[in-house]
Amino acid sequence: MFKIYMNLMEIFENLPEFINDQLRSIGINVSSWVGEVIFAVIVFLLSILLGWIIYYIFEHYFSRWAEKTKTTLDDEIIRNIKKPIYFFVIIVGLFYGLEQLSFLEPYDAELTIIFAVAQILLVIFIITRVINVLLNWYAEKIAKQRKKVIDNRILNIFKKFLYAIVYLIGFLFILHTFNIDLSGVVIGLGIGGIAIAFALQNVLSDVFSAFSIYFDRPFEVGDFVAVGEHSGIVTKIGVKSTRLQLLQGEEMIVSNREITSSSVRNYRKMIRRRVEFIIRVAPNTSLEKLKNIHKLIEKTIKKVDSTEFDMVHFREIGSFSYNFEVVYYINTGDYLKFLDIHEKVNFALKEAFEKEHIEFAFQARSPSSKQLE
């Protein structure tokens, strides 16, 4: 295999001279560079043909295969990289074509640098397009899952951050093509990065916390959350801070770093809420009525929509009442709906007890000094 490769390379190198010999054999007296130019044109045309074949394969085979998959991610990646790859092949073909021209040998180093920089820029362009496709696909996926339009400001900042890393790496590669010693540049970037990180550590911590909130999705705008001792509705998720509309009405601004480093309770994500309370029955209630209270409470709660009865027990005999412990679930995570349904249950229990002539008990209060007088 290696021998065949060496033979092909030898034929490839001698092809310009072979073209000159063929032209001279038919009576055309040409200089040596004519064969080189013809060969360079042939190489360039072959690169165009090869690039078109690759583009055709992407267009008619890879694209059709991608259409059969469930996701649109592969379709978008193929659509965004097929043309840059086509131009990449042409640039490589043009470089190898010009390399065959002997009269350009004095400029060989300059041509190598120019085409190396062109290839690096094209690769950077391809990588940034793939990053853009991946992040847009992720944003659309999250929007479909949440069934609403999401705020892409943090995603755009993250996209620019990735672009900056790609550009920086590309810039270092370009410096390397100019034979510039990168040790000093890398050390300078390292020291500068450390200095900037120390100076902006709080800001950077909030920014990275914003990325964590965006990708982890512990809460969204409109969710009712509790952060520490404060509870409220999330009104805005920014790059540095998150804003909450508290129940008292004021707006509270919390740094993203503080949110990610503390416990956050998100009530919006609750599927159902557990309700537990005590019903106190008057001490003059008969034993027969006390025994029927279990079924009465269970039947009443089950009649209310979006409720799920759990249990009721005659818990204790109090000083001024017979106490029943009641537990049931409300199948909603919305706090206002929870209050509305719980209110319906309370009204229904009051109505049911009045029909059965069962009175509620109230804890007796000690008489005041005025009452004793």
- For 192-254, the DSSP string reads HHHHHHHHTHHHHHHHHHHHHHHHH-S--TT-EEEETTEEEEEEEE-SSEEEEEETTS-EEEE
CATH class of 218-269: mainly beta
Q: Which of 322, 246, 300, 310 is nearest to 272 (CA)?
A: 310
Q: Which of 363, 362, 349, 361 is nearest to 293 (CA)?
A: 349
**16 three-state secondary structure:** helix
Burial of 297 (0-12, 13-18, 19+ CB in 10 A): buried
For position 217, what pLDDT does the model report?
76
Give the whole-angstrom CA distance, residue 350 versus residue 359.
Answer: 9
Burial of 286 (0-12, 13-18, 19+ CB in 10 A): exposed
What is the phi/psi pair of residue 329, to 5°? Answer: -120, 145
Give the whole-angstrom CA distance, residue 15 versus residue 17.
Answer: 5
pLDDT in tens, the chain (373 residues): 555 545 545 555 566 666 666 666 666 666 666 667 777 788 888 888 888 888 888 887 787 787 777 777 778 888 888 888 888 888 888 888 887 777 777 888 888 888 889 989 999 999 999 988 888 887 777 767 666 555 666 677 778 888 988 998 898 888 888 887 777 667 776 776 666 656 556 666 766 777 777 777 788 888 888 887 888 888 888 777 888 988 788 888 888 888 888 888 887 777 888 899 999 999 999 999 999 999 999 999 999 999 999 999 999 998 889 999 999 999 987 777 888 999 999 999 999 999 999 999 876 554 443 433 3
**173 three-state secondary structure:** helix
The strands making up 230-237's β-sheet, listed across from edge to edge, are 251-255, 241-246, 230-237, 224-227, 264-266
**Residue with the two structure tokens 């509870």:** 231
Give the whole-angstrom CA distance, residue 71 versus residue 209.
Answer: 29
pTM of the entire structure? 0.56
CATH for 273-355, options being 3.30.70.100, 3.40.1280.10, 3.30.1300.10, 2.40.30.10: 3.30.70.100
Q: Which of 100, 117, 124 is nearest to 13 (CA)?
A: 100
Alpha carbon 165 to chain centroid distance?
Answer: 18
For position 9, what pLDDT does the model report?
52
For position 159, what pLDDT does the model report?
83
Task: Say if residues 220 and 147 touch (Cβ distance below 8 Å).
Answer: no
